[in-house]
Structure formats: structure tokens, C-alpha cells
Amino acid sequence: MSGAPDRWGRDVGVGNAPFRALYRRWFRVEWEGLEHVPPRGGGLLVANHAGMLPVDGGIVSLGIEEELGRPVYSLAHHGFFRFPFVGNLLARTGGVVGHPDNAHRLLTEDKSLVLVFPEGQKGPVKPARERYRLQRFGRGGFVETAMRAGVPIVPIALMGTEDTTPTVTSLRIAGQDVPLTLNSLLFGPLLGPFLPFPAKIRARVLPPVHFDEPAGLAGYPRALLMDHAESIRDSIQRALSRMLQQRESVIRG
Amino acid sequence: MHNVLVTGAADPLGRRLVEHLRQREGIGRVVGVEPATSSEWIEGVELVAFDADHRALVEFLNDNEIDTVLHCGLAPDRSGRAGGPREARVIETMRLGAAIAHPDVAVAAWVVASSTAVYPASSQSPLLHREDGDTATDEAVAGSLLEAEDYVRDVARRSPHMNVSILRLQQLVGPGVAGPLSALLSQPLLPAVVGYDALVQLLAIEDAVAALVFAAEIELAGVYNVASVGCLRWSEARRALGRPSLPVLPFEAGPLAPLARRVGIPHVPDGLLDLLRFGHVVDTAKLASAGFQPAYDQDACLGALSRHPDEVLSRAST
């Protein structure tokens, strides 16, 4: 079933079959706390980020669409959209350039669910010793986005994504720390990122955070934004730690 | 609005505007002008010198008792003609502004037809460009337009009795129009940039005319985007026109462009590649909340292209 793409380029049912197989059989994704996702209206989904390919974005999108029937748009770095085919493919599954105006429009005009990863690139490229430790959540920009749009933030803790492409060590290449994954070691640098291990993935949705501040303001106090950002990061970290404690094995979950 | 001056009157938009105003009730005198240095001469269009001391312009405005000026001479591809010398048009705009702001002149409304070319087409752009969003300040064409717009804003500030509006017109389509996208869509074989399918947006010439008249009538002030209703993907546009497409690589033809054109290979003209990769759509909510509704949608705009491909082709090749 494929209709015409919407203005964002999202096309229901396109190219999902192979990813669905990955989702169900390889990663065997399980959800908890779905009742915390608003059944209608805008909402900013916030999750921890890991894994070399944007697999976690796809997993959250597909999971929520399948379980709740609500489409999810993911904010992605504009760099991806510079490449032929990549941009189109991302857009078809709900990927949107991470511009504040786009986020605002999706949340207020379309009243959609929008997914962001506040760790940004710091998530996937963190060193091995930081396994399952959330990196800094930026300067609270995502909190401002939610406040300005007058929508709640729905934190989601993702367990297992890190183990699909685990970082073994970091190589210093051209002044940058480039993570070396076990996948790249085993399958080579070209294939490695595209062959994730079959770690069991669990997604736990935490209670939404509603803001008292009025929507639509030009700016919000920086200290307030950072406080909220830190508290949301903390709640995801604690949920993640609990999930890891209950995990029996990486593959079985 | 009683006695109206239209600049850029030799181009499709200016001509259509003059025609429309002359048929409109309540309008007195309608004068179409081109700068005296212009090579275009069309019957009925007066030539006025846009001199540095703007004396000729001031006299002309007063002799004709002009109270409304519609300036379509700034952005040639939005007035319907394929691009012209940018510097000259910026200077003409400044001289026109100086004349209009002259204490002896009694113009109440000045509407400037600018272009959506001020907005960048890039992967970093938002889906819809808003009037207060980022502009492509370091790009040549956009830079010139923005310089002219800045000057227009200065005039507005110094003349609080006058209502000045800047309408950023989207890619124009219509009989005789030779704008960049219009010309591209009129080729018998349409380029399809491999790996991309961006959103494009057109503006029917009738909607452009209506918007300019609207701005003058209600004495609008500020900057407004203008486009016909909706937007569409390049692949949809190609399908709707029913023309075959040829895949092109996402590189500019550059030095090979003249050869490609001679051989008939559809290449993407320089400056349009990024538009076809990333899209170029503007948000028209601001003008809508001021009370303007375009009458045409994107399908109707494409319809206009299907009917007049030859006319546009012959003008585009000059």
C-alpha cells in the first residue's frame, strides 16, 4: 500500500519490508510503556542514540507506527540529504532535515510525533568505555523546541542498539576520533556498518514531561532549558541502567 | 490607488499588469515605463531616464500625478524575462526609490516585485521558506536582490507616510514568460537529477498580477512571499506534463553547457541544480493572513505550460 508522498516526502509502506524483517526477526524489538505516547496531537520523542547507522531512528518510528498507528518523523542531520538516494530514502521513512522551523511546523501545523536524539553525533562516536552512558544533551535546544510548540516531551530509553555495532576502540584519523566497531573488524570497513549483530532491542517509553511555560515565545530562559534537559537525560539513563540489570544476555535480551 | 506607474512594463508581468489595471474600475491613469537605457521598446511603454539626480523621474511622477508605483523592473526572471544585468537593476531601484521619497512627490504606495531567489536552495534549508528566515546573502543574484530590498526598506523608514511592500515572487509561469524554471519545464525532454526528487513551486502570472494589485490597493507594508497554491515534486510535475525525462547526474554542466544544449541533451542549467536537489518552496501564510488568496494551484500552472511551450521556448533561446 503506497500512497503519494506527503509534503515531507514520507511515503507509507515504501521500502519497509526488509527493515520490518530486521525489526521483527533480527532485533526482535519489544516495547513497554506505549500508553505514555499521546494518542493524538504533537509530541517530541527523545531517545538515546547509538549505533553507526541511524537504525535506532528507524526502530522507534516503525515500532510506534506499528503498535499505535501514529506516524513518526525523525529529525536528521542535513548532511545526509546531500547524498543522492539517501535523502529520498530517509524522507520516505519519515526523515526530515533537522531545522527548527521544520520541527515547529511538524509539531504545530501537522500535530505530529517528532523524534530527536539530543546526543547528536556524540552518541554513535563515543569511546567504548562510555558504553550505555548517555552523552551530554546539548544546550537544551530540544526542550526549547517542545516548549515553543506547546507539546510534551516523551522520553524513550533504547537498550540493545549499542550492541548492534559495538565500539571496540577509537582510531585517530585526520585529527578526529573515529570509532572502530567489532563489525568493521570482522567484516571490513565497507560492509561492517551494514551488518549489525542480532542484539535484542527493548524500548521503554517513560512518562511524558509537560511544560508550564506558555508556547510560542521567542526565547526561554537558558537555565530552565538546561535543567529540563539534564533531568530528562537522567531519567533515560536510570531507565537504561535498570533495563541492563534485568538483561540476561545481549542476544536473547 | 488612482494613478499608477508600472516599471518593467516591457516584460510579460509588467505588460499584463498594465493591461489589467486599465480594465479595472476606479483607476485613472496607468503609465508603463522602462528606463531610457533599455533596449526593449514596446508600443505604449514610455521611456524615462533613471538618472542619478532622479530629476526626470520626479518630474514624470508629478506630471502624471502618480500616487501608486508598482516596480516590476528589479527581478527580470520574475517579471517574465530571462535574467538581465543585475547591477543596473539595483541602481534603477535605488534611483526610483529616491525619486518616490522626494518631498515634492505624493506617492502613497510603492510595491516592489522581488524574487524568492533571495532564499537559498540547500540541504540546510527548512521545507518552507518564511519571510524572516535565512536568505542567501553570499550568493550573487540573491545578494543583489537583498541589497535592493534593503534600500527599499530604508526608503520606507524615511517616508512613514508611504506604504511600501516587497513581494517576493516565486517562479513565474504564463504566456511569454521566460523564467528559469518555466524555461526548464518547457523543454521537450525534462531532466531528472539522479537520486533526488525535490519540491518545486510555481506562480501563475495572473496570481502575480493579482497579488501586486492587492498590495497596492490595501496599501500593504512589509515583505511577503507570493506563490500559487501548493507545491509539487519534480517527478509529479514531469508526469503531469506527460513529457519523457532523461536522467542527469547531479553535477553542473559548467563548460560543457553550450555543447549539451546544441546536441539537445537536457542538462540542468547552472543555478537550478540545487533547486532540483533540495527544493525551493516558500510559505505564503503571511500574505494569506493579510487577505490574499491565489486563484491558481500548481496543476493549473502546469496546464499553462502545456499550452504555450513553443512561445516560451522561442523566448528562452534568445
Q: What is the pLDDT of residues A168-189, one digit of tens each?
A: 887 788 777 777 888 888 888 7
pLDDT confidence of residue B313: 47
- Show residues of chain B in contact with A81, CB under 8 Å: 123, 278
Taking residues B132-158, report their average pLDDT.
93
Among the residue ranges A200-209, B17-26, B59-68, B184-193, the one predicted with the least confidence is B184-193
Gap between the Cα atoms of B114 and B147, Å rounded: 11
Residue ranges with strand state E in chain B:
4-7, 30-35, 45-48, 68-71, 109-115, 128-129, 163-169, 171-173, 190-193, 199-200, 202-204, 222-226, 232-233, 245-248, 281-282
* Residue B126 Cα, gap to closest chain A Cα (Å): 6
Among the residue ranges A107-111, B97-101, B244-248, the one predicted with the least confidence is B244-248
Maximum average pLDDT range among A29-43, A137-151, B50-64: A29-43
Cβ-proximal residues to A94 (8 Å cutoff; 6+ apart), any chain = A8, A10, A61, A71, A72, A73, A74
B123 touches chain A (CB under 8 A): yes
Taking residues A96-120, report their average pLDDT.
94
Closest-approach residue (CA) in chain A for B250 = A84
CATH code reported for the domain at B3-243+250-317: 3.40.50.720
- First vs last Cα of chain A: how many Å apart? 33
Inter-chain residue contact A97 with B197, CB threshold 8 Å? no
Q: What are phi and psi of A172, to 5 degrees?
A: -90, 110
Closest-approach residue (CA) in chain B for A86 = B195
* Residue A85 Cα, gap to closest chain B Cα (Å): 4
* Residue B265 Cα, gap to closest chain A Cα (Å): 21
Among B228, B219, B227, B229, smallest CA distance to B290 is for B219
Of residues B185 and B252, the one with the higher pLDDT is B185
Q: What angle do helix axes B86-100 and B55-63 make, rounded to 10 degrees?
A: 60
- Mutate which of B130, B196, B233 to test chain A, going by most A C-beta atoms within 10 A? B196
Q: b/e map of B121-144 (b: 16 or more CB within 10 Å)? A: bbbebbbbbbbebbbbeebebbbb
B312 — pLDDT class (breaks 50, 70, 90): very low
pLDDT confidence of residue B221: 96
From the list B122, B133, B195, the residue facing A101 with the nearest CB is B133
**To the nearest whole percent, how much of chain B has pLDDT over 70?**
92
A15 — pLDDT class (breaks 50, 70, 90): low
Among B207, B166, B205, smallest CA distance to B294 is for B207
Of residues B309 and A200, the one with the higher pLDDT is A200
Torsion sign, CA atoms B84, B86, B91, B93: positive
Taking residues A146-175, report their average pLDDT.
89
Number of A–B residue contacts, CB under 8 Å: 50
Taking residues A218-239, report their average pLDDT.
94
- Mutate which of A88, A99, A106 to test chain B, going by most B C-beta atoms within 10 A? A99
pTM (two decimals): 0.89
What is the tens place of the pLDDT at every residue in B15-53? 999 999 999 999 999 999 998 887 766 788 888 988 888
Residue type, A163: D
B231 touches chain A (CB under 8 A): yes
Cell numbers found for residue B278: 533540495
Inter-chain residue contact B124 with A97, CB threshold 8 Å? yes
Q: What angle do helix axes A100-108 and A141-149 make, rounded to 10 degrees?
A: 30
pLDDT confidence of residue A99: 94
pLDDT reading at A142 higher than 70: yes
Q: Dihedral of the CA atoms A179, A182, A185, A186 (nearest 10)?
A: -160
pLDDT confidence of residue B263: 74
A93 — pLDDT class (breaks 50, 70, 90): confident
A14 — pLDDT class (breaks 50, 70, 90): low
pLDDT confidence of residue B314: 45
Of residues B65 and B76, the one with the higher pLDDT is B65
In total, chain A counts a number of residues equal to 253
- Show residues of chain A in contact with B195, CB under 8 Å: 83-88
Closest-approach residue (CA) in chain B for A84 = B195
Among the residue ranges A11-15, A131-135, B103-107, the one predicted with the least confidence is A11-15
Maximum average pLDDT range among A17-21, B119-123, B309-313: B119-123
Taking residues B100-105, report their average pLDDT.
93
- Mutate which of A80, A85, A101 to test chain B, going by most B C-beta atoms within 10 A? A101
Maximum average pLDDT range among B44-58, B197-211, B238-252: B197-211
pLDDT confidence of residue A134: 81
Q: What is the DSSP letter of A121?
A: G
Maximum average pLDDT range among A63-77, A145-159, A190-204, B255-269: A145-159
pLDDT confidence of residue A196: 84
B298 touches chain A (CB under 8 A): no
pLDDT reading at A3 higher than 80: no
Q: What are phi and psi of B169, to 5 degrees?
A: -80, 140
pLDDT confidence of residue A224: 94
Taking all residues of chain A, what is their mean pLDDT, rounded to a whole number? 88
Gap between the Cα atoms of A106 and A96, Å rounded: 10
How many other C-beta atoms are found inside a 10 Å radius of the C-beta of residue B14?
A: 29
- Show residues of chain A in contact with B130, CB under 8 Å: 101
Q: What residue segments make up the domains of chain B, in order of their start?
A: 3-243+250-317
B318 — pLDDT class (breaks 50, 70, 90): very low
Cell numbers found for residue A168: 571496540
Taking residues A12-17, report their average pLDDT.
64
From the list A4, A7, A84, the residue facing B195 with the nearest CB is A84
pLDDT confidence of residue A1: 42
pLDDT reading at A2 higher than 60: no
pLDDT confidence of residue B37: 83
Taking residues A226-230, report their average pLDDT.
94
Taking all residues of chain B, what is their mean pLDDT, rounded to a whole number? 90
A137 — pLDDT class (breaks 50, 70, 90): confident
CA–centroid distance for B110 within its chain: 16
